Amino acid sequence: MKLSLAQVLEPRLAALDLDHRLQLARELIPGRIVFTTSFGLEDQLITHAIFTAGLDIEVVTIDTGRLFPQTYDVWAQTEARYARRIGAVYPQAQALEELVAERGINGFYKSVDNRKACCHVRKVEPLARLLSGASAWVTGLRADQSQERATAALAEFDAGHRLLKINPLADYAREAVVALVEAFSVPVNELHAQGFISIGCAPCTRAIEPGEAERAGRWWWENEGNKECGLHVTESGELRRGPAPIDTETTR
């Protein structure tokens, strides 16, 4: 019986902790693996695991040009802690200039379409360039972060980017991530202590109130529906999935 690599990995990853999940993924997945970090709590824990084990997994961030100063601070602190550089990909200059000229520097407040256009130029398109030619993409998604992410699997095929997607913290609760970050003294964004649970671009992120969902502070001026920028989901708000191509199949 033929199974996709994602189907082979899922049950094997489920039995392991974060460190061993990443190690197994690196052992079984050929080619280039990219981990994208936004320097949030989950991503910092994954970065710690990758750098501590010396895994051959690229650690890269998408610098939108609108990040909080505190995010740049924890970027520098992380590089100093692990004596490793974290790469960055940036929006294309011409596309960014055209976006600002057409919709305004803060045009994303005026409409959902404007906001999605900004996210596309600053995040989605740079990610597509970054993942071009990669075999797998590692993310910090957790299933309990939002309704849209509730079905996130440990291993799945991303139909949009045409690669394997590994979410090694998909079944972790936030409390477990916090405990591990504290135990390993991992650098964290100081905004977390100020109520910023999910941290994105500065103009588009606020602290959340007690009882609010983790991602309620993202694009708070929009309705309480899909709180995503398009990196992980389709226009309808669903995680991008599809059948794995034949060349990623393995035989059980």
Beta carbons of 3 and 242 less than 8 angstroms apart:
no
pLDDT tens track of the chain, all 252 residues? 457 889 999 999 999 999 999 999 999 999 999 999 999 999 999 999 999 999 999 999 999 999 999 999 999 999 999 999 999 999 999 999 999 999 999 999 999 999 999 999 999 999 999 999 999 999 999 988 766 767 789 999 999 899 999 999 999 999 999 999 999 999 999 999 999 999 999 999 999 999 888 888 999 998 766 665 556 455 555 654 555 554 444 333
Half-sphere exposure of 9 (CA within 13 A, CB side): 27
How far apart, in whole angstroms, are the C-alpha atoms of residue 223 and residue 22?
36
Q: Given the DSSP bridges, would you call strands 163-166 and 136-138 parallel, antiparallel or unpaired?
A: parallel
* CA-wise closest residue to 168 among 198, 160, 30, 176: 176
Residue 43 CB partners (closer than 8 Å, separation 6+): 35, 36, 37, 140
Check residue 134 and give its pLDDT: 97
The residue type at 131: L
* Main-chain dihedrals φ then ψ at residue 134, nearest 5 degrees: -80, 155
Domains along the chain with CATH numbers: 2-228 (3.40.50.620)
Rounded to the nearest 10 degrees, what angle do helices 69-82 and 41-53 cross at? 20
Check residue 213 and give its pLDDT: 87
Distances (CA, A) of 24 to 11, 66, 114: 12, 35, 41
Residues in the chain, how many?
252
Count CB atoms within 10 A of the CB of residue 176.
14
* CA-wise closest residue to 92 among 121, 132, 130: 121
H helices then E strands: how many in the chain?
A: 8, 8
Residue with tokens 């509730």: 150
Catalytic site residue from 118, 201, 204, 229 = 229
Active-site residue, 118 included: no
Adjacent-strand bridge partners of 211: none
The residue type at 211: G
Check residue 150 and give its pLDDT: 74
pTM for this model (two decimals)? 0.88
Beta carbons of 240 and 233 less than 8 angstroms apart:
yes
Check residue 224 and give its pLDDT: 61
**CA torsion, points 121, 126, 131, 132, in degrees to nearest 10?**
90
* CA-wise closest residue to 184 among 55, 38, 80, 45: 45
* CA-wise closest residue to 236 among 228, 248, 244: 228
- How far is residue 123 CA from its own chain's centroid? 11
Residue 17 CB partners (closer than 8 Å, separation 6+): none
Residue range 125-139, pLDDT digits in tens: 999 999 999 999 999
Adjacent-strand bridge partners of 201: 67
